[in-house]
Amino acid sequence: MVKKHKYIFVVGGVMSGVGKGIASSSIGKILQSKGFKVNPIKVDPYLNVDAGNMNPTEHGEVFVLDSGLETDQDMGNYERFLETDLDDGDYMTSGMIYKHVIEKERNLGYRGKCVEAIPHITDEILRRWKKSAETHLSDISIIEIGGTIGDYQNALFIESARTLKIKYPQDVMFVMVSYLPIPGSLGEMKTKPTQNAVRQLNSYGVQPDMIIARGAQPIDFKRKEKIAFACAIQPENVISAPDIESIYDVPLNFEKDRISSVIMKTLHMRTKSHNGELDEWRKFVCKRKNAKRELKIAVVGKYFDTGDFVLSDAYVSVIEAVKFSSYWNDSRTCLSWINSKEYEADPKKISELKNYDGIIVPGGFGESGIEGVIMAIEFARKNKIPYLGLCYGMQLAVIEFCRNIIGWKDAHTAEINPKSSHVVIDIMPEQKKLLEENKYGATMRLGAYPAFLKNGTIALDAYKKSNLVADEATISERHRHRYEVSPDYIAEIEKAGLVFSGTSPDGRLMEIAELPKSVHPFFLGTQFHPEFKARPLHPHPLFTAFIEACINKNSQIRPISSSKILKISPNVPNVHL
């Protein structure tokens, strides 16, 4: 335990997916505004050693840290809400902990002792929590324990937290994020599942200090009292958390129920300083509410058999990055998810893209729907529709350029056709060996790398505007890929007019490709993932430049549409941000 350090554990009751991550991030934001330094930690109970090998359409986006660690999307929420960069010690899975303990046992690290879940796994968990707090020199750790109360697999994390509370009763608090259903047939908010979840938590020897009552409606005082009576907490420690339009309203909403005073009281703390942190936040939230126009952006990719909920989870950082740059430009955006296979089946359909103010091709892997994506990129280039390609979206833009401008008709990526006569996107040499040995976990080119930007380019202009580049025009962005623009073709591609406006400092790896402004208003792709560094109060310069280009294209102001989600065809869900 770090001296005088405070711990807030956030656990889930009743069911998953009700917003523990947003609740934890919002608590963090509020505490920041009271002058505290907070460090969030995400605990994922699964046995995967990291999130790298997990399918994003099942588990949500893989969020990459500067260090290259592949983590859960909640880490993205923390970074965005708290405007901070997190590191390896802030994320842990059961797999990671067990791997460490087992390797230590193999190396005689336990000196012949019998190694057991308690105390060896729990000690390792506690060691990591302590280290994370020390690394960040923080006042308060907010530790979100994944899963729901009653799951077998998160029990050891809760047990570790319990022992901290026993040792330091005034410095540790438990927050349960619970769900209060309103069954259609009754039309009334029910508290019983929450009561049962608290009882289950009690059976671990843990009493919640606060309950965040998630539900379709705000919880009324009568039900707060009911929960208080049944669960032995004060009614004011039940915080109302109804569904709201934007996750960024949550910290402000929590404060309406005076969440910070409950935390201060429980943890025996006093506000350090009022630093106006929430004022800036309020400004940002207002920007969204007062947006003047709606932009229409198509996200083209290989989506099939997935609903819009899953897609939004798989690309959450892209969506949030679009939001930030739109809101600060007095706009809201309607994203349409377009299955590129539809263009392969019916090439005439591609003309629908004329109706969009911009096109994004996000990151991805594999062959499915790729030709349709390339058709969409060609359409964006020829019709001067602003285009932003993210990782795969940049690689495919290079392929499109090579096929249709240079005339290398079979230009391709080694990921799909290594036998093409023009493998313009090739496997990185260090990746080749790893793949041959079936080493898939944490082996891509991952994490933050610097890039140099060229003078007179859209990229440099954009970064300069946001003060993100030093004099040497160097940026740092996060990566997650195995393939790169092949060094064999760079000179020819550049001669044909595509500009590599960002490269690795040694000039070997192409980081950004763009068309000159004289040719196209905005056509740019990045080998890295700028979306991982977009923050509400600091939108990403490339997303902002893209959104500005979309605004310029859309000369008439389109009113904000009121519906949240509108399906225009079974395969094309529109999401209004």
Residues in the chain: 577
* Region of 7-15, 57-65, 70-78, 474-482 interacting with ligand GLN (CB under 6 A): 474-482
DSSP-derived secondary structure letter, 338: E
Q: For ligand GLN, give the closer residue by CB, 197 or 370.
A: 370
Q: For ligand GLN, give the closer residue by CB, 480 or 520.
A: 480
480 binds ligand GLN (CB under 6 A): yes
Residue 423, C-beta contacts closer than 8 angstroms, at least 6 positions apart: 412, 413, 414, 417, 486
Q: For ligand GLN, give the closer residue by CB, 120 or 478.
A: 478
Q: Which of residues 124-183 bind ligand GLN (CB under 6 A)?
A: none
Q: For ligand GLN, give the closer residue by CB, 244 or 435.
A: 435
> Mask of contacts with ligand GLN, 22-61, x by CB under 6 A?
----------------------------------------
How many CB atoms within 10 Å of residue 169?
10
Indicate which residue of 5, 412, 422, 529 is catalytic: 529
Q: Which of residues 416-435 bind ligand GLN (CB under 6 A)?
A: none
Q: What is the 3-state secondary structure (H, E, C) of 479-536?
A: EEECEEECCCCHHHHHHCCCEEEEECCCCCCEEEEECCCCCCCCEEEECCCHHHHCCC
Judged by CB under 6 A, which of 365, 442, 454, 466 binds ligand GLN?
Answer: 365
β-sheet bridge partners, residue 453: 502
Judged by CB under 6 A, which of 8, 23, 180, 391 binds ligand GLN?
Answer: 391
* Region of 23-31, 39-47, 202-210, 476-484 interacting with ligand GLN (CB under 6 A): 476-484
Q: Which of residues 285-324 bind ligand GLN (CB under 6 A)?
A: none
**Residue 529: active-site member:** yes
Judged by CB under 6 A, which of 341, 481, 533, 540 binds ligand GLN?
Answer: 481
* Region of 37-45, 325-333, 478-486, 563-571 interacting with ligand GLN (CB under 6 A): 478-486
| Three-state DSSP class for residue 439 | coil
Closest to 439 in 3D by CA, of 449, 448, 430: 430
* Shortest distance in whole angstroms from residue 388 CB to ligand GLN: 13
β-sheet bridge partners, residue 451: 475
* Rounded Cα gap, residues 395 and 483, in angstroms: 8
361 binds ligand GLN (CB under 6 A): no
Indicate which residue of 334, 391, 402, 550 is catalytic: 391
List alpha helices for 383-455, DSSP H. Answer: 392-401, 429-436
Tokens of 289: 């509410």
388 binds ligand GLN (CB under 6 A): no
Q: For ligand GLN, give the closer residue by CB, 61 or 357.
A: 61
Indicate which residue of 320, 415, 511, 531 is catalytic: 531
Q: What is the 3-state secondary structure (H, E, C) of 109-169?
A: CCCCCCCCHHHHHHHHHHHHHHHHHHHHCCCEEEEEECCCCCCCCCHHHHHHHHHHHHHCC
Judged by CB under 6 A, which of 215, 363, 536, 573 binds ligand GLN?
Answer: 363
Judged by CB under 6 A, which of 364, 369, 386, 530 binds ligand GLN?
Answer: 364
Q: For ligand GLN, give the closer residue by CB, 181 or 364.
A: 364
CA distances in angstroms from 55 to 51, 148, 314, listed in the order given: 9, 21, 9
**Residue 391: active-site member:** yes
403 binds ligand GLN (CB under 6 A): no
Q: For ligand GLN, give the closer residue by CB, 39 or 526.
A: 526
482 binds ligand GLN (CB under 6 A): yes
DSSP-derived secondary structure letter, 286: H
* Region of 75-83, 348-356, 359-367, 551-559 interacting with ligand GLN (CB under 6 A): 359-367
483 binds ligand GLN (CB under 6 A): yes
How many CB atoms within 10 Å of residue 492?
14
**Residue 531: active-site member:** yes
* Shortest distance in whole angstroms from residue 407 CB to ligand GLN: 24
Report cis status (omega within 30 of 0) of the bond before 119: yes
412 binds ligand GLN (CB under 6 A): no
Tokens of 197: 């979840």
Closest to 295 in 3D by CA, of 560, 10, 566: 560
* Rounded Cα gap, residues 8 and 129, in angstroms: 12
CA distances in angstroms from 294 to 264, 332, 362, listed in the order given: 41, 5, 21
How many CB atoms within 10 Å of residue 145?
25
Largest separation between any pair of C-alpha atoms in the chain: 75
Residue positions annotated with a catalytic role: 391, 529, 531
**Binding positions for ligand GLN, rule: CB under 6 A:** 363-365, 391-392, 395, 415, 480-483
